[in-house]
Amino acid sequence: MQTIDMRSLEVRFLEDKDGTGGSLDFFELTLRRDARMPVPHYHKSWDETVYGLNGVSTWRVDGKNVDVAPGQSLFIKRGVVHGFANNTPSAATCLCILTPGVLGRSYFEEMAALLASGAADPAKMKEIMLRHGLVPVAP
């Protein structure tokens, strides 16, 4: 499977909306040391389930921090503001399942290309997020 490198994050798709007929997107998310989702957001059209594989990631969900360690899971209902971080000195990896599958790989590919260009323009990031159904929320 293809790994999408987003500097502090890696996304490796296991299944996506195209291969599942829109049933789900399923990927492994690795947060390198000190990685974080810089923009809290919510999804209009899908729920997200996170399952810890190794390390500990911290998810800020509806204003509360929730640590996800190996074997632990977290459900984030559509419309709920969230973000994530790795506040530990080592990488953290989790599985993410989005249902239904409406996001796909293209969001991550576009964001990775923007970051690789060195032009991490917040307005462009917001435009990509909105076009793919992620709604940014001011911290």
Q: Tell me what pLDDT residue 39 has.
A: 84
Residues 6+ apart with CB under 8 A from 81: 40, 41, 42, 61, 62, 63, 137
pLDDT interval class at 120 (50, 70, 90): confident
Q: Is the predicted pLDDT of residue 115 greater than 90, yes or no?
A: no
> Would you list the domain boundaries of the chain?
3-136
Q: Which long-range contacts (CB under 8 A, 24 or more apart) does 127-131 make?
A: 129/39, 129/41
Q: What percent of the chain has pLDDT over 90?
A: 83
Computed from CA positions of residues 43, 49, 54, 57, in that sequence, does the dihedral angle turn out positive or negative? positive
Per mean pLDDT, which range of 1-5, 21-25, 74-78, 88-92 is the poorest? 1-5
Average pLDDT taken over every residue of the chain: 94
SS3 at position 138 = coil
Fold of 3-136: Jelly Rolls (2.60.120)
Residue 2 DSSP symbol: P
- φ/ψ of 50, rounded to 5, equals -120, 135
Please indicate, yes or no, whether the overall pTM of this predicted structure exceeds 0.95: no
* Interval 8-56: pLDDT, tens: 999 999 999 999 999 999 999 999 998 888 789 999 999 999 999 999 9
DSSP 25-52: EEEEEEE-TT-B-SS-EEESS-EEEEEE
For residues 108-129, give the mean pLDDT.
88
Secondary element (H or E) of residue 90: none
